[in-house]
Amino acid sequence: MNSSKIILSRQALNSVLVTKLKQLSGTSIRNCMQCGKCSAGCPMAGFMDHAPSRTLRQLQLGQHAQVLAGRSIWYCASCETCTTRCPNGVDLAAIMDALRKLWWDEQGRSEEKQVQLASRLFLDNIRRYGRQHEMRLGALFNLKSGKLFKDLALGPKLMARGKLKLTQEKNRNLAEIEQIFARIEKMRQKGKTP
């Protein structure tokens, strides 16, 4: 049986990156006790190079470069399953958002270009329609990613089952949604949000 100990240093837990994460996310990595509930519930964990709990442990150990260089932060869907499941109230979804912001501010575009493209198109859809328009999202993603015919056989099957609609109604509260986007943009310019 391996009885090696992991020691969390004050230097790692009080680093500049950890301080910025706390400011941006409103939550502390110190509260993670490594129960693994976030990883067990994460629908994207299978696509990540490090499960959510391991990402938090790396941050606690000061392994910031590995976290930022990995693809886990880009594959997080911000579904907040991890946040909901955490018994200590760690808002891991907000930490992942903050990590993406810190990466973007420091490095610019990620190697995970398709993830960023999907995220941008998703938000554009929300801004334009007030809800998701799956047909538009899929078509634009395939066009812009260079995989135009990727879902060609799947589309008609989904439409036949009523799962995919050609048209999309706009949300009647588009003015309020635009105000939300405007507030977020102002906060982003002030460095207060990812």
Of the residues 107, 126, 142, the one at which a domain ends: 107
Token output for 159: 């439409």
102 and 118 fall within a common domain: no
Give the DSSP letter of residue 170: P
> In this structure, is residue 37 part of a structural domain?
yes
> Region 8-15: what's the mean pLDDT?
67
- Residue 70 DSSP label: S
pLDDT in tens, 67-77: 888 888 888 88
Whether residues 99 and 20 share a domain: the answer is yes
Residue 3 has pLDDT above 80, yes or no: no
In contact, 38 and 85? CB cutoff 8 Å: yes
User: Are 70 and 147 in a shared domain?
Assistant: no
In this structure, what DSSP letter does residue 15 have?
A: S
* Residue 125 resides in a domain: yes
Shared domain check, 138 and 75:
no
Question: Among 78, 107, 136, which residue terminates a domain?
Answer: 107
Q: Over 80: is that where the pLDDT of 108 sits?
A: no
Q: Are residues 93 and 136 in the same domain?
A: no
- The whole-angstrom separation of Cα 188 and Cα 190 is 5
Which string of DSSP letters, residue by residue, matches 26-49? S--GGG-----HHHHH-TTGGGSS
Question: Per-residue pLDDT tens for 111-159?
Answer: 567 777 777 888 888 888 888 878 888 888 888 888 888 877 887 888 8
What CA–CA distance (Å, rounded) separates 40 from 122?
A: 26
For CA atoms 133, 152, 48, 106, the dihedral sign is: negative
- pTM value is 0.65
* Domain extent for 30: 10-107
Residue 181 lies in a domain: yes
Q: Which of 107, 135, 170 is the last residue before a domain boundary? A: 107
Shared domain check, 81 and 151: no
160 located within any domain: yes
d(CA 115, CA 120): 9
Could you give the number of structural domains in the chain? Answer: 2
